[in-house]
C-alpha cells in the first residue's frame, strides 16, 4: 500500500528538508537516557519485529544515519529517528549519534508528521491524523494540502473522513482488522450508533468490503419501493461516482418528471468540506 508523497517535504519546506537537516552538521554523541520522544509523533504503533531487526542491524553495523534532536532543558527531544532510538536501546547502546537543531514547536510538529508521511507503513488512521494535524496547525485547506503533497483531493478527504469513526472502530483499523475500505463503507451507515456493532460483525465473520456494502444497503433500507424500482444501473453508477467524489453517502432519487440528489454530511466541518468542493467546481 504505497503512500509516496510526490512533492513531499521539498514542497512544504524547500530549505529545510530531512536531507538538509542531516547533512553538513556536526554530529554529537548523546546518552540515550537524555533522549525523550517527540510529543508530536504521529506514529502510534511501532512494529516490534521490525524494531528487533533494526536492533540486530545496529549491533552488527552500528548506526549509519544520525538522528535529529533539539535541546529541551537538560534533555533532548527526538525530531527524526525514534525507531533508531528504540532499536538502540534494545541493542544495548548507551549513546547514539545525533544532530542537534534549534527548532520551534511548530517546526517540530511539521517535521515529525512529514517525515512519517514519507514512510509507507503508517496506518490509514495515523495518516488521517497527520493530515488533520497539518490542516489544523498550519491552516491549510484540504485542497492546499493535496497540492503540496502531490496527492489527489479525494485521497486526503477519504483519509480524514475515517476520523469520524468511533474510537473503538478506529482501533480496529489501526490493528489491521479492518481496512480503509471497510472504514469508509461503515461511514455510509445511516444509524451511526450501530457502526461499532457492524464493525464487530465484519471482523467476526471476515466480511470483505463488497459484502459489507451489501450489508450496509440492507441496514439502510428505508427507500420507498417505487423509488428503488426506478433506480437503474446508470443511476447506481452515478451514485457510486458521486460518493467517491464527495467522500460521503449520496443518493439519486428520480420520479417521472423530476429528480433530486441527496448528499449526506455528519458534522458542520463535514458540511463545510462539501461546500468547499462545490465552490471549487464553480471557480
pLDDT reported for residue 145: 80
Judged against a pLDDT cut of 50, whether residue 38 lies above it is answered with: yes
pLDDT tens-digit series, residues 146-191:
887 778 888 888 999 999 999 999 999 998 999 999 999 999 888 8
pLDDT reported for residue 197: 92
More confident position, 270 or 181: 181
pLDDT reported for residue 159: 92
pLDDT bracket for residue 247 (50, 70, 90): confident
> Percent of the chain, pLDDT > 70?
80
More confident position, 151 or 267: 151
- Please give the backbone phi and psi of residue 18, each rounded to the nearest 5 degrees, phi first: -60, -40
pLDDT bracket for residue 42 (50, 70, 90): low
Catalytic residue among 28, 49, 82, 95: 82
Residue 239's CB is within 10 A of a number of other CB atoms, namely 17
pLDDT tens-digit series, residues 194-239:
899 999 999 999 999 999 998 888 888 754 444 445 557 778 788 8
**Residue 82 a catalytic site member:** yes
pLDDT tens-digit series, residues 61-99:
888 889 888 888 889 998 888 889 989 999 999 999 998
- Domains for the chain: give ranges and CATH numbers: 24-120 (3.90.1530.30), 122-163 (1.10.10.2830), 177-222 (no CATH), 233-270 (no CATH)
Amino acid at each position: 500500500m504505497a503512500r509516496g508523497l510526490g512533492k513531499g517535504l521539498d514542497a512544504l519546506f524547500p530549505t529545510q528538508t530531512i536531507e538538509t537537516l542531516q547533512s553538513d552538521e556536526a554530529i554529537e554523541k548523546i546518552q540515550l537516557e537524555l533522549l525523550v520522544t517527540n510529543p508530536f509523533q504521529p506514529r502510534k504503533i511501532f512494529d516490534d519485529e521490525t524494531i528487533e531487526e533494526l536492533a540486530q542491524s545496529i549491533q552488527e553495523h552500528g548506526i549509519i544515519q544520525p538522528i535529529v534532536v533539539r535541546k529541551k532543558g537538560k534533555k533532548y527531544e527526538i525530531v527524526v529517528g525514534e525507531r533508531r532510538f528504540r532499536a538502540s536501546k534494545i541493542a544495548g547502546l548507551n549513546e547514539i549519534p545525533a544532530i542537534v537543531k534549534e527548532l520551534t514547536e511548530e517546526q517540530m510538529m511539521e517535521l515529525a508528521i512529514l517525515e512519517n508521511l514519507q514512510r509507507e507503513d503508517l496506518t490509514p488512521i495515523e495518516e488521517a491524523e497527520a493530515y488533520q494535524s497539518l490542516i489544523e496547525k498550519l491552516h491549510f485547506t484540504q485542497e492546499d494540502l493535496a497540492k503540496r503533497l502531490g496527492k489527489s483531493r479525494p485521497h486526503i478527504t477519504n483519509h480524514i473522513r475515517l476520523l469520524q469513526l468511533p474510537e473503538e472502530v478506529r482501533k480496529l483499523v489501526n490493528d489491521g482488522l479492518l481496512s480503509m475500505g471497510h472504514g469508509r463503507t461503515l461511514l455510509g451507515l445511516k444509524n451511526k450508533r450501530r457502526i461499532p456493532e457492524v464493525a464487530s460483525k465484519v471482523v467476526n465473520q471476515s466480511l470483505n468490503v463488497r459484502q459489507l456494502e451489501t450489508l450496509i444497503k440492507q441496514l439502510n433500507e428505508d427507500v420507498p419501493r417505487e423509488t428503488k424500482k426506478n433506480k437503474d444501473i446508470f443511476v447506481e453508477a452515478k451514485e457510486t461516482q458521486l460518493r467517491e467524489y464527495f467522500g460521503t453517502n449520496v443518493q439519486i432519487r428520480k420520479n417521472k418528471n423530476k429528480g433530486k440528489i441527496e448528499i449526506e454530511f455528519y458534522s458542520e466541518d463535514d458540511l463545510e468540506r462539501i461546500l468547499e468542493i462545490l465552490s471549487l467546481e464553480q471557480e
